[in-house]
């Protein structure tokens, strides 16, 4: 699962970067720059384009597996800076965001940072197991946050499901089911209990959303959604999470293979 996860994750990162450059703005939903840097701020556009270039170059490095280690390190640091310099201050600048948006975008960023840290740990020579474990925990603890929000705001989630061009029956049922799925997968990944299977299932869940919710909306109405930066960003976030979940699953498979190899080597003949 590591290879498809890495490719999907990297494609989404490149997508974020392209949107930054095309719209001369930051990653909507993940970078709450608007509350801290108004559009009139000198140099804001240049900084947005620079962010887009960094994201694009890092994503291309990871998808081609050329300089994956420094690219993954750069993404980990970049995402961490978004949390410290943007997400945390925005909670004080606009406390109303704490009802939902702040939690979503902060923990989405934390989860993506965790996936990048896993890639950095695996690309290191020797492999940095502490980084891999920390990345898995960062990804795992983020998922229950989304699940809890599904239970707090089920009608909002159901409304989004109902807007899908491919109709989902019983939208409220899916809101609760996916909320429970987030919680179960996150706890499993963070605790190491059936974590690989949980990560695989989470990736399938996110991939299904990308294919049945976000992409069809853009294809069905390209004039609206194809030019909607928020909708495009949501698609890339979903793809990134699918890739991130499979990166987690792949890292666990790699760990299991290594453990078996060590066990075989230590066994007396």
Tokens standing for 61? 């490095």
Could you tell me if 215 and 222 are in contact, meaning their C-beta atoms sit under 8 angstroms apart? no
Say if 264 falls within a structural domain: no
Say if 69 falls within a structural domain: yes
Say if 268 falls within a structural domain: no
Say if 217 falls within a structural domain: yes
pLDDT value of residue 165: 76
Say if 204 falls within a structural domain: yes
Say if 173 falls within a structural domain: yes
Is pTM beyond 0.75? Reply is yes
Q: How many domains does the chain have?
A: 1
Say if 66 falls within a structural domain: yes
Q: What is the pLDDT of residues 49-81, one digit of tens each?
A: 999 999 999 999 999 999 999 999 999 999 999
Domain that holds residue 106: 2-258
Say if 158 falls within a structural domain: yes
- What burial letters (b/e) apply to 116-147, b meaning 16+ CB within 10 Å? bbbbbbbbbeeebeebbbbbbbbbbbbbbbbb
Residue with tokens 């089911």: 177
pLDDT tier, 264 (very low <50, low <70, confident <90, very high otherwise): very low
For residue 107, the number of C-alpha atoms closer than 13 Å in the C-beta half-sphere is 20
For residue 58, the number of C-alpha atoms closer than 13 Å in the C-beta half-sphere is 26
């Amino acid at each position: 699962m590591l290879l498809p996860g890495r490719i999907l994750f990297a494609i989404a990162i490149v997508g974020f970067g392209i949107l930054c450059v095309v719209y001369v703005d930051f990653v909507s939903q993940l970078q709450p720059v608007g509350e801290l840097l108004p559009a009139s701020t000198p140099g804001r556009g240049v900084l947005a384009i620079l962010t887009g270039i960094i994201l694009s170059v890092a994503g291309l490095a990871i998808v081609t597996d050329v300089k994956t280690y420094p690219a993954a390190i750069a993404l980990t640091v970049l995402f961490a800076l978004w949390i410290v310099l943007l997400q945390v201050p925005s909670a004080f600048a606009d406390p109303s965001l704490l009802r939902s948006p702040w939690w979503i975008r902060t923990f989405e960023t934390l989860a993506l940072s965790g996936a990048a840290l896993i890639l950095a740990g695996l690309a290191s020579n020797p492999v940095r197991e502490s980084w891999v474990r920390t990345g898995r925990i960062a990804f795992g603890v983020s998922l229950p946050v989304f699940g809890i929000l599904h239970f707090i705001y089920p009608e909002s989630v159901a409304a989004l499901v109902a807007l899908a061009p491919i109709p989902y029956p019983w939208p409220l049922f899916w809101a609760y089911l996916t909320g429970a799925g987030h919680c179960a997968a996150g706890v499993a990944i963070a605790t190491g209990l059936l974590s690989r299977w949980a990560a695989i299932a989470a990736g399938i869940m996110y991939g299904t959303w990308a294919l049945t919710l976000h992409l069809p909306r853009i294809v069905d109405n390209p004039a609206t959604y194809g030019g909607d930066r928020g909708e495009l960003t949501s698609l890339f976030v979903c793809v990134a999470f699918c890739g991130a979940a499979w990166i987690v699953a792949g890292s666990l498979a790699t760990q299991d293979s290594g453990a078996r190899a060590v066990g075989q080597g230590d066994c007396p003949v």
